[in-house]
Structure 1
Amino acid sequence: MSNVQIIAKNTIVLLISQILSYLFAFFYTIITARYLGADGFGILSFAIAFTGIFGILADLGLNTLTVKEISKDKSLAGKFLGNFLLIKIVLSIVTLLIIALILNAFNYPIQTVTVVYLVALSVILNSFNGIFNSIFQAFEKMQFQSIGQIFYSASMLIGVLLAIIYGFNIIGFAFLYFILSAILLVCNIIICIKKFIPLNFEIDLKFSISKIKEALPFGINGIFVFVYVWVDTIILFILQGNQAVGWYNAAYKIVTVCMIVQSVSNISVFPAMSQLYVNSKNSLQNLVEKYFKFMLLISFPLGIGITLLSPNIILLIFGKQYENSIIALQILIWSGISTFLYTAFAQLFLSAGKQITLTKITGICMIENILLNLLLIPKFSYVGASIVTVVTEFTLLVLIFIVAKNMGYGISFNQLKDVIKVIIASLVMGSFIFLFSEFTIFIIVPISILIYITILFSLRTFDADELLLIKKVIKN
């Protein structure tokens, strides 16, 4: 099976599982947001943002390095797993201590502190789950990761429904994150031992130190990304209160759901890119171009569609109490579009060992994001935070494109033609949505997709090889 077919197969497997898990997650998020209200949902969102930033310390790039190295040499799996688990134990203790010190320095209500601690434990456990998912990815056995995702999301949905039936408060909801992360970790350990490799606790200090140094750029990059993604929530919480955080994160949840295809594709493409960088630079060039085009085809119609349909989407999903989230969603969706467009080249940097370059870029964007948030949030609240997120992602897009061009992977003339065709098709689709916006989205969305696809084919957007690949993927 070719690399493209393997990627297509793994992407489809993950896409199906991600759709199911995201559907479950979407429903339990909606139910949670409606039940807790903007105020309670804001506290939970703050806990997730706060612990998530420090939770990166419990990983420090080890998960990404695991995929990169084991995909090249499967015999290293046992050594990586055993040593990295021990490293993660130490990192997790340090992370929890840092979180505790910061919480004690602020006079937060006991309810908020308890929620943060429970979510922090969940984040730590998910860091360990991440190392097992990295093993599954490296062996290109994505189905095990898929099963875990579906199990977790389905269980969360059931847990949230039970929590509402029994009248749980926000602490009960936070406890769900912790207990289900623990159960998933036990399942991942069992699968790994039975299907892949036994746990190897042979300590190799020299190996561990060398790999920490190698993984550090991935980890720092992860910290930078997580900070500029979540720091707005933390600043909003401090300066504007729980409700603003609730409105902002309701809109952000929809953007996150829209990013499902991008996140799934990255998981499937990364091992193949790592192999091709070593074995075939021409094939890597072709893969990067196809991946960029795939992301391009999704991004623009998604941005235009969500912008025009935001009032329908927010009121349908979250209700009138989240009406203030409409403008946030109309702005935030364009941050997701930028992410779609640069993701192929970001994955290329990681596969090519250019993680330090990517770290520098994300570091610049993190500083920009923090400064702009401190400037705009006091004046414009969650709307200012939304604008800053878009500006930051666009800056990241420009810088990544510049570096990619210097590496010889810049946007070609044919790709520019594709961009124009996609914009034309998206605008035609958007015109239809604008004219018939009074209809239900369950009618507008399917017809809009059909119009978009029809225009793409009429403009001959796909070459013969791409049409053949589309047929193979559908057939498989």
Structure 2
Amino acid sequence: MNLLTIVKNSIYLFFSHVLVRFVSGIATILVARSLGIDEYGLLSLAISITIISGFFTELGLTHTLIREGTKAGSDIEELLAIYLGKRLFYGGLTLLVTCVLILTLYSPSHYQVLLWCVIPSILGSVLTGYGVAYFQVTQLMKFTALIRASTGLLTALSLLLCFYLKSDVFSYSLAYGFSILFGGVISTGLVLRKVRFKLKWSNKLSNGLISFSISGFVVMFFPQLGPIILEKTSSLTQVGNYSAAYRIPSILYQIPNVLALAFYPMLFKLSNANNNFEQVKLNIMQTKFMSCIGMMLCLPFAIYSEWWVNIVLGRQWVEAAFLLSVLSFIVLLQSISSPISDGLAAAGYHKKRSIFQVANCCLAVILFLLLSSRYGAVGAAFAAVIVELINLIGLVALRKIGIVIIYKSLGSLAPIFITMLLLGYYLKGISWLNPVLGVVILFSLFLILTFSLDKELKGKLVNVLKKQVEKKTKSVKIGDSI
């Protein structure tokens, strides 16, 4: 188990996911300020449909590619040819069905915005996925980082250009769609420098595909439920407020998600080698690291949501403040459930996981419909948190050692988080205390208590830092001798 490799891959992914998402987040905030609540709600709806459609071009193929590609003696080039052939087929079918659904379900006044956002995005997602999947299975994360970064920056820059030109909502949707497409072209170009372009049709990647498809669909679908259902049960104003509030937790989650992406191939590698003991140890470490980061990200936004909304979005978005306070807990819940889900998949529990997630998905639709129709965006926010909590409980229960993994991961972290949350609400009541100072106090105490009570977490971080310092020192000595 090479923790240093995971850390290096995490750093590459950090720059591609977190920093690019941060820039994209700034662009999105400016878009929200520029368009207003209703038009931003329409654009959010278009992006939600785009994300759902993009999933159907993939259907879990990346997971089966990683599973097969990490096996000893696997032919990566052949597997990639099969992967591309299936994705192109799924992409064409998805494009046709999505266009029919848009023309059937939505108002003609929305056709232009929705179609010109969705069509190029579907094509782009196929090409982007081709590159990301190849470099992920070969664990060349710097190229995965380059692909993510180029696509994200293209999207952000195109949105910023529209903001500068004071464009209408159609121009924003067009810019979003074609930036995804151009990112896909860059991704494909990087792959073709490593392997030959080849298409092949085979069932090699089909084993277990349905289970991975269901799991991937649920992960992708949950964040999009709010905008899609709110558009039917409430108004575009409610969609706009919910989408603006949800945007912040979705960006924040990319930080712990970097670790999930870095750990994922290693979990399968240990599982394929039948090294179950080390696989469980790695999964506990992953859960502990991700949970710790998720807790730190949740605290400031759950406590000081009004201040953040006022700073980031402006006073006209005041209704989004309470939504942000509720939705910030999603960052924490996903930071715990994601590594648990990865561990289940790597250990061969993906079928049981899929059955549970289908049931939870049905429950999610019912909860969103009931709560959003009665309480609007507030109801949708609570529905989102409840669904994530049920998802976490179910994933833990699916595995006999699930409780053990949770206990070893959160045994010391959970009491610290609850203490900091209560302290945060107390600090918020002190009128003279600036929110920035309050956050600094909470972070400092959280880290002090965590490293004092969790010796294993502290030890792992210290070991990684020591190895990195030793490596740098060794390279310097070699350079001096030359």
TM-score normalised per structure 2: 0.90
Distance 2:362 2:123 in 1: 26
Deviates more, 1:40-49 or 1:74-83: 74-83
**Runs of at least 5 residues in structure 1 that lack an aligned partner in the other structure:** none
Q: Deviations over 1:116-153 (max 9, x none)?
A: 21222213421331131011111111111212222223
Distance 2:208 2:454 in 1: 45
Q: Which residue of 2 aligns with 1:135?
A: 134
Counterpart code for 2:269: Q
SS in 2 for 1:363: helix
C-alpha change, 1:13 and 1:441, in structure 2 (3 Å) is farther
C-alpha change, 1:414 and 1:82, in structure 2 (3 Å) is closer
Counterpart code for 1:426: M
The equivalent position to 2:333 in structure 1, one of 329, 338, 348, is 338
Q: Which residue of 2 aligns with 1:287?
A: 282
Match runs of 1:35-434 below 5 Å: 35-73=34-72, 75-110=74-109, 112-121=110-119, 122-194=121-193, 196-201=194-199, 203=200, 205=201, 208-279=202-273, 280-404=275-399, 406-407=400-401, 410-411=404-405, 414-415=408-409, 417-423=411-417, 426-427=420-421, 430=424, 433-434=427-428
Q: Which residue of 1 aligns with 2:479?
A: none
Counterpart code for 2:115: Y
Distance 2:406 2:87 in 1: 42
C-alpha change, 1:460 and 1:105, in structure 2 (3 Å) is closer
Shift of residue 58 of structure 1? 1.1
Distance 2:377 2:54 in 1: 24
Q: Deviations over 1:302-347 (max 9, x none)?
A: 3332111100111110111211111111111122211111222101
Q: Deviations over 1:250-304 (max 9, x none)?
A: 1111011110122211111110000111222221121111111112222334333
Q: Which residue of 1 aligns with 2:459?
A: 465
Counterpart code for 1:135: Y
TM-score normalised per structure 1: 0.91
Contact (CA 8 Å) 1:70, 1:135: kept in 2 or not?
no
The number of aligned residues is: 468
Shift of residue 460 of structure 1? 4.8
Distance 1:172 1:304 in 2: 37
Counterpart code for 2:255: V
Distance 2:454 2:89 in 1: 55
C-alpha change, 1:300 and 1:276, in structure 2 (3 Å) is same
Contact (CA 8 Å) 1:421, 1:461: kept in 2 or not?
no
Deviates more, 1:28-37 or 1:99-108: 99-108
Counterpart code for 1:64: H
Counterpart code for 2:191: C
Q: Which residue of 1 aligns with 2:4?
A: 5
C-alpha change, 1:241 and 1:77, in structure 2 (3 Å) is same
Q: Deviations over 1:404-426 (max 9, x none)?
A: 3x256733755453134433652
**Runs of at least 5 residues in structure 2 that lack an aligned partner in the other structure:** 473-482
Distance 2:405 2:216 in 1: 26
Contact (CA 8 Å) 1:58, 1:127: kept in 2 or not?
yes
Runs of 4+ residues deviating >6 angstroms: none
